[in-house]
Amino acid sequence: MLHVNYRNIRVFYLPHLEGGGLTFGQDYIKVVRRLFGKVDHICEFGAGPGFIGFSLLANGLCKRLTLIDINPEAVRIARKTVAENGLKTEVRVYLSDGLSNVPESEKWDLVVSNPPHFDGKYRDYVEDVRVYDPKWEIHSRFYRDVPAHLKSGGSVLFYENLYGARPSLWEKMIGKQKDLKYIKSFRSRRFGNMPRASDVTKYIKGEHGYMRKSSPQKLVVKTLLHASFLVYYPYYFVWSKKREK
C-alpha cells in the first residue's frame, strides 16, 4: 500500500483507486481558500481514498470531514487513514451509492468532488466507476438529493472535464432543482477564465484585436498555449449553492 503526506496527515491508497485527486484535484486547496476560507464541515463525494478531503482538512480549511464512496475497497482504505492518523472525531466515512446511505443528520457547508467525467455504457461503468457516469445518472441523483444535506448557504463545487461535458450541461441539470442554484463554471486562477470552443480558431485567424497587432511569433506562442490547455488541462469547476428560502 502506498501513501502521500498532506502536512500532518498520511493518506493511504492503492494505485488503481487514484482518479486525479493526487494531481489536478489538489487545485481545490487554493480555490476553496479563495472562495470560502475555513468552513466547519466539508464532504468529499466519490472520495476514493480521500485525497481532496484529507488535504483540505490538513490545510486547515475545515474542522470536520465526511467521505463518501460506492467502492468498499476505497472506503476500507479511507478508514485506515482515519485510524492511523487518529481522526475518528474529525472524519466520518460512508459506503454509499450516491447519498442513499448517508444519515439525514449529515449537514455540510461545502461538498467537493472529482466525479466520473464521461458518459458511457453501463458496462463501461462496471469496468471503471471512477471514469464513467452512464446517462449522467450519478450526477442527476446527487444534485437531486444533496440540498437535504447542505446547511443554509451551503455550496457544491465539482471538478469536471471539458472532454466529458460542457458547462451548459450542468447549468441545465442544476437549474432543474428547486432547492439548488447554479452559480458559475470556472477554471482555477492559474488557468484564467473558462475557454470557449471557438477560442483556438479565433487565435489562429487573428480575429482578436490585440492579436492582429502582435508579431507572428507571439501569435504562434499564444495559439499553442491555448491549444495546449484544451488538450492537456481540460478541467474546470462547477459551483452551485443551496437556495435560501
- Domains detected in the chain: 2-195+234-242 (3.40.50.150)
How confident is the model at residue 59, as a pLDDT? 98
Rounded-to-integer distance, Cα 19 and Cα 21, Å: 6
Sort residue 151 into left (φ over 0), alpha (ψ -120 to 50) or beta.
beta
**What number of other Cβ atoms are within 10 A of residue 163's Cβ?**
12
Rounded-to-integer distance, Cα 91 and Cα 99, Å: 17
Residues of the chain with pLDDT under 70: 189-232
How confident is the model at residue 229, as a pLDDT? 53
pTM of the predicted structure, to 2 decimals = 0.84
How far is C-alpha 154 from the geometric centre of its chain's CA atoms? 16
Residues 6 or more apart whose Cβ sits within 8 Å of residue 120: 131, 132, 133, 134
How confident is the model at residue 122, as a pLDDT? 86
